[in-house]
Chains A and B, each alone.
Chain A
């Protein structure tokens, strides 16, 4: 599993991994980010209570409902939008 730092140099770790289908480590969950090609990220559970992250999920719901064909949560926004939002989260 590859862990890479956020492009914006934030302190927390956004991990990116290609091991789709496997359970995330305790306290993390997988999200699939991107418009056409989806990249798998592992994000901490604490993001789910952040309004800006919830807004990304709501946007996804407006377009796709609650169907997530990859299994994991799909966030169909541009990858840099996702990185921009998550880099501001503690």
Chain B
């Protein structure tokens, strides 16, 4: 077993855990933590705070959070981490503001960019067509919170009741996982001629019996027929030709006017939410110190995973990446605190920009 311990201003690595306990963004503090379970980390994430435009002189200021949960490999989530925020800033510069349309265009440009990568690599690396990523973002700007999502990561708002100090969870992201009945209904209405568009196998619903999410970036083998043929593995190939894209890249976007009782946001990949409920997570945040809160949420999820697998938490921590995936998924957590005084403050040009990526060092693939 190799244990990497690594530390700098950008975060610390302790075995399979990476964390940044506390840092500042424009409107308060934030905390990040990532634990790896896959042989190659498939979750990617970032927090960016400062100008939300490619033009330095004017335009919107704010905080951007992205959580990208890849599947089939790390390529798509890494691509999203490298390109989505830049597209967002480019469209915000064009329109001189943040908007639902800017966000939608940024998703579209990212999807198109990855399609270009697949087209280029298809001949030598056909598996690239079967790699995809969920994509959750939050943008805090001008007193508003924009949340956009494809896939099954989740953004949850902690609303504090002033009189009692209690906290309520409000989920802001729509989820696109066919375990949810309304998502299955949407798939049936989009594909009325295919009674097998979603299939229940061993108690798990999957699109075409293959994948649990109905929307994603990438997964072009389920979007374009020219990438659903040889030399792609048989298990990814459809029996009948695709009449229309099966999966969609189109994000569900909500806009929320921030109130003084909106105290923090939790952005996390489904690795967290398969262990903790929304309410459990916001109560942990409300009842503990802010410093290191993302790491505390990851630990609570790992304790729950150990309990499910009928073993000790201390033993779970000894299991190496790869095999670890049988115990839990990659888990990414970003907790963003919102300070009311800072939210109402005019965008300050003096605050230095922040840019932090979750996951720190990349461990090479084990054979």
Quick check: is B203 within 8 A (CB to CB) of the other chain? yes
Chain A residues contacting B325 (CB-CB under 8 Å) are 66
Q: Is the CB of A24 within 8 A of B312?
A: yes
Quick check: is A73 within 8 A (CB to CB) of the other chain? yes
Q: Is the CB of B312 within 8 A of A72?
A: no
B residues whose Cβ falls under 8 Å from a Cβ of A: 202-204, 306-312, 314-315, 318-320, 323, 325-327, 329
Quick check: is A27 within 8 A (CB to CB) of the other chain? yes
> Known: A64-B202, A67-B204. Contact between A30 and B311, CB under 8 A?
yes
Chain A residues contacting B310 (CB-CB under 8 Å) are 20-24, 29-30, 71-72
The complex places the Cα of A63 from the Cα of B314 at a distance, in Å, of 29
> Known: A29-B315, A45-B319, A49-B320. Contact between A61 and B326, CB under 8 A?
yes
Select from chain A the residue with minimum beta-carbon distance to B206.
A65
Q: Is the CB of B202 within 8 A of A63?
A: yes
Quick check: is A57 within 8 A (CB to CB) of the other chain? yes
Quick check: is A81 within 8 A (CB to CB) of the other chain? no
Cβ distance A1 to chain B, nearest Cβ, rounded Å: 12
Sample (23) of A-B pairs whose CB atoms are under 8 Å apart: A20-B310, A22-B310, A23-B307, A24-B312, A26-B312, A29-B309, A29-B310, A29-B315, A30-B311, A48-B319, A54-B323, A61-B326, A63-B202, A64-B202, A65-B202, A66-B325, A66-B329, A67-B202, A71-B310, A72-B308, A73-B309, A73-B326, A73-B327
Q: What 15 new A-B contacts, CB under 8 Å, besides A24-B312, A67-B202, A71-B308?
A: A22-B310, A23-B310, A23-B311, A26-B315, A28-B315, A29-B315, A45-B311, A45-B319, A54-B323, A57-B326, A65-B204, A66-B325, A68-B309, A71-B309, A72-B310
Contact of A26 (CB < 8 Å), options: B202, B314, B327: B314
Chain A residues contacting B327 (CB-CB under 8 Å) are 73
> Known: A24-B312, A29-B309. Contact between A49 and B204, CB under 8 A?
no
Cβ distance B82 to chain A, nearest Cβ, rounded Å: 28
The complex places the Cα of A48 from the Cα of B319 at a distance, in Å, of 8
